[in-house]
Amino acid sequence: MKIISFPERATWPALLARPVQSTEQIEAAVAPILAQVRQGGDAALIELAQKFDKTDLTTSGLAVSVAELDQAEAQLSPELKDAIRQAYQNIRTFHERQKQPIEKIETMPGVVCWRRSVGIEKVGLYIPGGTAPLFSTVLMLGVPAQLAGCNEIVLCTPSNHPAIYFAAKLVGVTKVFRIGGAQAIAAMAYGTESVPQVYKIFGPGNQYVTAAKMLVAKEGMAIDMPAGPSEVAIYADDTAVPAFVAADLLSQAEHGADSQVLLVSTSKRLVELVNLTLPTQLSKLPRKDLAAKALENSKAVLVETQAEAIDLLNTYAAEHLILSIGNAENVVDQIINAGSIFLGNYTPESAGDYASGTNHTLPTNGFARAYSGVSLDSFVKKITVQHITPEGIQHVGPVVEAMAEAESLIAHKRAVSLRLASLNEINPA
């Protein structure tokens, strides 16, 4: 890793900038695919699978059958099934506690307001194909969908890996389709003869999938969040174990050549030790070429003080932030921009990626400044409710009348005045 020592604050924005991806060309390629699926439905999906994936869906059909889903279990090792079940349980435990009881709040006597959490009726999950079957993401999206009580949970994936099907069954996915790419997003956004139209779309994907999600979002479709390459920032001091830091950096780097990896430290010794251990560890990885490329673009930044480190990390707003420092528990409350934070020597990012219970669908690309990761909240709407009694309207009514009149919305005022007048008639003062 390239070491940058004590950079001036003025250089931080350039130092921490993510690679800018031009989306225009990709959007131009994706827009006709969306239009084709919108108009052509299932037939368009079959045609596009043939064209882009050289896959013939006419015999297999778009939908994965219940029998096929049921058979997946037999194809997995007991060890893997147990692991998936344990991860499922931990994710469920963490997300279940995000449920909030209804609390009725009386803002004035007789004016009672509350919020109800209601699961989004129909949601769509996308899981990409490729070499790594992301069944962990099925859990991360499916568990909160299941807990939220979403009626219809649609999964589109070009992968037929049994672990994906097994996880889908575990989380109660209602329909699985063999559809990949931008056309999968289109199918769930607009609906086809086979694929139900959903109200919110979740999940990772390549640049085409991402562009498709952003384009349907512009039309009003809800999506989980905008996406970019995965990232980790590690803040380590002399209490950190260099080999662990190197392993965590590599576990991010193996995602792909565009993975963002950042090491921040006040200790030159630590940074040098990490750099020393990296090549040995790297050499043991099957995906060493990808990881090496990601490391080439990554940086180790030496700063003078802890305060400076915290400022820099808040400026960067990492998706994953590992605080491998002696006083991590104290520093955590000073972090205002991050997706998920990992404390101490024994909390690798990969624990959160799979099984500790937190969600791994997190804001990348600095989006952590405004966005949260996926949670139970992502799968519910909070509907406000209010009930005002005759006494209540006498308290809040005059306030509404004065404000509505000042906003020149006289019908708004009259809706209150009429009620107040009727009460005065019933109970003349």
Which residues ranging from 50 to 109 are in contact with a second copy (CB under 8 A)? 79-80, 82-84, 86-87, 89-90, 93-94, 97-98, 100, 103, 105, 107-108
On whether 316 is known to bind a ligand per the annotation, the reply is: no
Catalytic residue among 254, 308, 319, 401, which? 319
What's CA 157's distance to the chain center, in Å? 17
On whether 387 is known to bind a ligand per the annotation, the reply is: no
H or E stretch at 95: helix 78-96
103 vs 312: CA distance, rounded Å: 39
On whether 353 is known to bind a ligand per the annotation, the reply is: yes
Window 190-229: residues binding a second copy (CB under 8 A): 199-200, 214-215, 217-218, 220-222, 226, 228
Q: Please report whether residue 422 would count as binding a second copy according to CB under 8 A.
A: yes
H or E stretch at 343: strand 338-343
Number of residues that bind a second copy (CB under 8 A): 135
Q: Which stretch binds a second copy (CB under 8 A): 3-11, 39-47, 55-63, 247-255?
A: 247-255
* Least Cβ distance, residue 71 to a second copy (angstroms): 17
Q: Which tokens belong to 156?
A: 């589109």
Residue placing its CB nearer to a second copy in the complex, 57 or 323: 323
375 near 92, Cβ under 8 Å? Answer: no
Q: Work out the number of other CB atoms within 10 angstroms of the CB of residue 283.
A: 9
Beta strand residue intervals within 90-151, DSSP E? 105-108, 111-119, 122-126
Q: Please report whether residue 342 would count as binding a second copy according to CB under 8 A.
A: yes
Q: Which residue has the tokens 């979002």?
A: 217
Catalytic residue among 95, 161, 320, 360, which? 320
* Least Cβ distance, residue 414 to a second copy (angstroms): 5
201 near 189, Cβ under 8 Å? Answer: yes
Q: Please report whether residue 354 would count as binding a second copy according to CB under 8 A.
A: yes
Phi/psi of residue 335, each to 5°?
Answer: -85, 120
On whether 77 is known to bind a ligand per the annotation, the reply is: no
Window 116-155: residues binding a second copy (CB under 8 A): 116, 118-121, 131-136
Tell me if residue 152 is catalytic. no
Which of 17, 29, 35, 370: binder of a second copy (CB under 8 A)? 370
166 vs 69: CA distance, rounded Å: 7
Q: Work out the number of other CB atoms within 10 angstroms of the CB of residue 327.
A: 11
Window 16-45: residues binding a second copy (CB under 8 A): none
Q: Please report whether residue 386 would count as binding a second copy according to CB under 8 A.
A: yes
Which of 55, 285, 293, 299: binder of a second copy (CB under 8 A)? 285
102 vs 84: CA distance, rounded Å: 32
305 vs 288: CA distance, rounded Å: 33
Phi-psi region of 207 (alpha: psi -120 to 50; beta: other; left: phi over 0): alpha
On whether 354 is known to bind a ligand per the annotation, the reply is: no
Residue placing its CB nearer to a second copy in the complex, 70 or 329: 329
Q: Please report whether residue 359 would count as binding a second copy according to CB under 8 A.
A: yes
Q: Please report whether residue 338 would count as binding a second copy according to CB under 8 A.
A: yes
* 202-217 core/surface letters (b: 16 or more CB in 10 A; e: else): bbbbebbbbbbbbbbb
* Least Cβ distance, residue 225 to a second copy (angstroms): 9
Phi/psi of residue 223, each to 5°?
Answer: -130, 165
Tell me if residue 319 is catalytic. yes
Window 148-187: residues binding a second copy (CB under 8 A): 163
* 18-56 core/surface letters (b: 16 or more CB in 10 A; e: else): eeeeeeeebbeebeebbebbbebbbebbbebbeeebebe
* Least Cβ distance, residue 79 to a second copy (angstroms): 6
* Least Cβ distance, residue 68 to a second copy (angstroms): 19
Q: Please report whether residue 356 would count as binding a second copy according to CB under 8 A.
A: yes
On whether 255 is known to bind a ligand per the annotation, the reply is: yes
Residue placing its CB nearer to a second copy in the complex, 172 or 398: 398
Q: Work out the number of other CB atoms within 10 angstroms of the CB of residue 341.
A: 20
Residue placing its CB nearer to a second copy in the complex, 176 or 211: 211
Active-site residue numbers? 319-320
Give the residue numbers of the binding site for NAD(+): 126, 183, 206
Annotated binding site for Zn(2+): 252, 255, 353, 412
Which residues participate in the annotated binding site?
126, 183, 206, 230, 252, 255, 320, 353, 407, 412
